[in-house]
């Protein structure tokens, strides 16, 4: 299928629109769960009540993606709890941020981590106005995210990979890289972006902290060049090898995001699928075929920084 590069912009900003994972014991929180006293608030007797309330409060269009992204199972698998400090890679327009901020609560922190400024021109299709807007992202995005805090949402901060403030070292309970690794890998040879992001993730985590990965997964039999990230997909072993080499320990994986219907050929990109429909904007029949496949097949991996 032919690519339409100009249509990648909204996908990048949305983080390609997916995510998820299942059970595994949660890591200890940096602070106790928020006890708001509201219906559905998380307590020792009702550990998922606050998350369920946050999910239930979203509009129907938002909820329509739950069957693909499984946010409840994702956050539970990674052990995310109210009161934690969480780093979210490439939050984009905030699909996950809008869940994390109210869920983490007023005792928590959400720290957005964006691509380095000099990575944006490498895509080749962002205009100069957009590239320039990234120069103030670390202050603009937290301001935008204030609208998602409500009455008791998490504090919001931001930094860029490769320029993490030293004050953040050892501060995070978890780092979430949800559909954010492929572009880092794609441009690794041009600027060491994946290496910088992995190193910052290791530094920002406390000992025993979690790194959660949700990533479009290429089949092992696909060519390495095709599965380099430029088409959206990466091989699971590639991700495991890179993170293990940096000192992370793989402690679990989930099949909650796997989709056996997604079997791309070397002519395909991940953005052909919903919610992007890059190759079927004007082709209802092809769009129906993409709907029948659903969103992408994804690995869901849980790593830990050694204690």
User: Per-residue pLDDT for 38 more than 90?
Assistant: no
- Over residues 209-230, mean pLDDT: 98
Which residue would you say has higher pLDDT here, 35 or 290?
290
- Residue 48: the pLDDT is 80
User: Per-residue pLDDT for 241 more than 90?
Assistant: yes
User: pLDDT digit string (tens) for 147-183?
Assistant: 999 999 999 999 999 999 999 999 999 999 999 999 9
User: pLDDT digit string (tens) for 108-158?
Assistant: 999 999 999 999 999 999 999 999 999 999 999 999 999 999 999 999 999
Asked if 194 and 188 touch (Cβ cutoff 8 Å), the reply is yes
Does the domain at 5-304 match CATH 3.40.50.150? Answer given as yes
Asked if 271 and 278 touch (Cβ cutoff 8 Å), the reply is yes
Asked if 157 and 142 touch (Cβ cutoff 8 Å), the reply is yes
User: pLDDT digit string (tens) for 48-71?
Assistant: 899 999 999 999 999 999 999 999
Q: Coil, strand, or helix at residue 78?
A: coil
CA distance 3 to 57: 36
The pair of three-digit structure tokens given for residue 113, joined into one six-digit string: 């981590």
- Over residues 205-223, mean pLDDT: 98
Q: Coil, strand, or helix at residue 213?
A: strand
The beta strands (E) that lie in 69-131 are given as 85-89, 109-114
Asked if 33 and 22 touch (Cβ cutoff 8 Å), the reply is no
Give this prediction's pTM: 0.86
Residues 6+ apart with CB under 8 A from 137: 114, 158, 160
The pairing of beta strand 205-218 with beta strand 172-178: parallel
**Backbone CA torsion sign across 191, 158, 132, 179:** positive
User: Per-residue pLDDT for 32 more than 80?
Assistant: no
């Amino acid at each position: 299928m032919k690519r339409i590069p100009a249509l990648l912009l909204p996908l990048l900003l949305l983080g390609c629109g997916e995510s998820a994972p299942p059970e595994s014991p949660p890591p200890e929180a940096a602070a106790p769960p928020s006890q708001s006293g509201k219906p559905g608030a998380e307590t020792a007797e009702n550990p998922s009540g606050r998350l369920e309330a946050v999910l239930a409060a979203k509009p129907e269009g938002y909820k329509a993606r739950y069957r693909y992204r499984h946010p409840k199972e994702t956050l539970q698998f990674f052990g995310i709890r109210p009161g934690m400090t969480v780093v979210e890679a490439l939050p984009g327009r905030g699909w996950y941020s809008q869940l994390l901020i109210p869920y983490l609560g007023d005792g928590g922190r959400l720290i957005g981590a964006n691509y380095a400024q000099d990575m944006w021109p490498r895509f080749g299709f962002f205009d100069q106005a957009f590239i320039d807007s990234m120069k103030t992202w670390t202050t603009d995005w937290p301001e935008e995210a204030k609208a998602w805090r409500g009455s008791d949402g998490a504090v919001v901060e931001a930094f860029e990979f490769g320029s993490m403030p030293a004050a953040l070292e050892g501060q995070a309970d978890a780092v979430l890289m949800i559909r954010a690794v492929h572009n880092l890998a794609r441009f690794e040879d041009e600027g060491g972006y994946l290496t910088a992001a992995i190193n910052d993730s290791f530094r920002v985590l406390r000992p025993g902290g979690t790194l959660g990965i949700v990533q479009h997964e290429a089949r092992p039999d696909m060519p390495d060049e095709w599965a380099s990230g430029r088409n959206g997909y990466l091989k699971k072993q590639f991700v495991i090898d890179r993170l293990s080499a940096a000192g992370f320990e793989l402690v679990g994986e989930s099949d909650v995001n796997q989709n056996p219907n997604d079997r791309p050929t070397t002519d395909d990109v991940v953005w052909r699928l919903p919610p992007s429909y890059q190759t079927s904007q004007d082709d209802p029949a092809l769009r129906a075929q993409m709907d029948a496949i659903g969103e992408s097949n994804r690995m869901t991996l849980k790593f830990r920084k050694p204690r």
